[in-house]
């Protein structure tokens, strides 16, 4: 807190008080928000309380409603299911243990992680690559990719490639990876 004082030019400070002498200025910085309150102590106190009562709860609620991915935890969760080599990402799970959607989701997740970890220029994967890695014909691959888009696990990009969504990342981390690891006996 900073208390502003102003002194008159002539005479001792107590004999000539200005109107601003009792003004209080408080500056609050919280993450990306900065707010300054000035006025009488009572006005500043009321404004500051209103700010904390109105702003902070809504800010904290907004943070809780925002999907955030912890990259380090996600990478750790994927140990034993995905690995990276010079030529690209690999799935370490036997294909026969996975559904088509799990395979495609893991491939999209591997693309995302490869990009985030600096092992690939982009996290997007072409339909052709996904189809080849899935080992199914184009119609089945397109149908399964459509299902992933419909349930918001994947998204189609402008250049006709596919990527995993933030919601898809959360679904992978919370549900699909643990289910795959259970199938593997891990």
Within a 10 A sphere around the Cβ of 146, how many other Cβ atoms?
A: 12
**Last residue within a domain, chosen from 24, 49, 65:** 65
| Shared domain check, 97 and 33 | no
Same domain, 55 and 97: no
Residues 34 and 111 in one domain: no
Same domain as 142, residue 54: no
Q: Does residue 53 contact residue 29 with C-beta atoms inside 8 Å?
A: no
Angle between helices 177-184 and 100-116 (to 10 degrees): 110
**Any residues with CB less than 8 A from the CB of 13 and at least 6 apart, and which?**
5, 7
| In the chain, % of residues over pLDDT 90 | 61
Same domain for 16 and 83? no
More confident: 66 or 173: 173
CATH number, position 134: 1.10.10.10
pLDDT tens-place string over residues 30-84: 777 888 999 998 888 888 878 877 776 676 676 677 777 888 999 999 999 999 9
> Residue 12 burial by CB count (10 A; 0-12/13-18/19+): exposed, middle or buried?
exposed
DSSP 173: I
What distance in Å separates the CA atoms of residue 90 and residue 110, rounded to the nearest whole number? 8
Question: Are 22 and 75 found together in one domain?
Answer: no
Number of domains, the chain: 2
Task: Give residue 118's region: left, alpha or beta (phi > 0; psi -120 to 50).
Answer: left
3-state class (DSSP) for residue 121 = coil
Residue 10 clears pLDDT 50, i.e. is over it:
no
Give yes or no: residues 92 and 175 share one domain. Answer: yes
Mean predicted confidence (pLDDT) in 135-159: 96
Provide DSSP, 2-58.
EE---B-SSS-TTTSB-TTTT-EEEEEEETTEEEEEEESHHHHHHHHHHHHHHHHHH
This prediction has a pTM of: 0.67
- 94 shares a domain with 135: yes
Query: Is the same domain home to 179 and 100?
Result: yes
Regarding whether 164 and 83 lie in a shared domain, the answer is yes
pLDDT at position 8, please?
37
């Amino acid at each position: 807190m900073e208390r502003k004082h102003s002194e008159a030019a002539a005479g001792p400070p107590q004999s000539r008080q200005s109107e601003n002498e009792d003004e209080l200025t408080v500056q609050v910085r919280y993450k990306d928000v900065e707010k300054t309150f000035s006025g009488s102590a009572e006005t500043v106190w009321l404004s500051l309380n209103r700010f904390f009562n109105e702003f902070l709860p809504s800010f904290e609620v907004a943070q809780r409603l925002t999907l955030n991915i912890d990259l380090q935890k996600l990478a750790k969760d994927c140990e034993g299911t995905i690995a990276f080599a010079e030529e690209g990402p690999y799935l370490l799970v036997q294909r026969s243990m996975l559904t088509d959607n799990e395979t495609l989701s893991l491939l999209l997740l591997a693309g995302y992680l490869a990009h985030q970890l600096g092992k690939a220029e982009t996290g997007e994967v072409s339909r052709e690559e996904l189809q080849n890695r899935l080992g199914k014909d184009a119609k089945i691959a397109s149908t399964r990719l459509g299902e992933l888009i419909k349930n918001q696990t994947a998204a189609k990009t402008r250049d006709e490639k596919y990527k995993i969504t933030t919601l898809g990342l959360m679904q992978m981390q919370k549900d699909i990876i643990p289910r795959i690891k259970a199938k593997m006996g891990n």
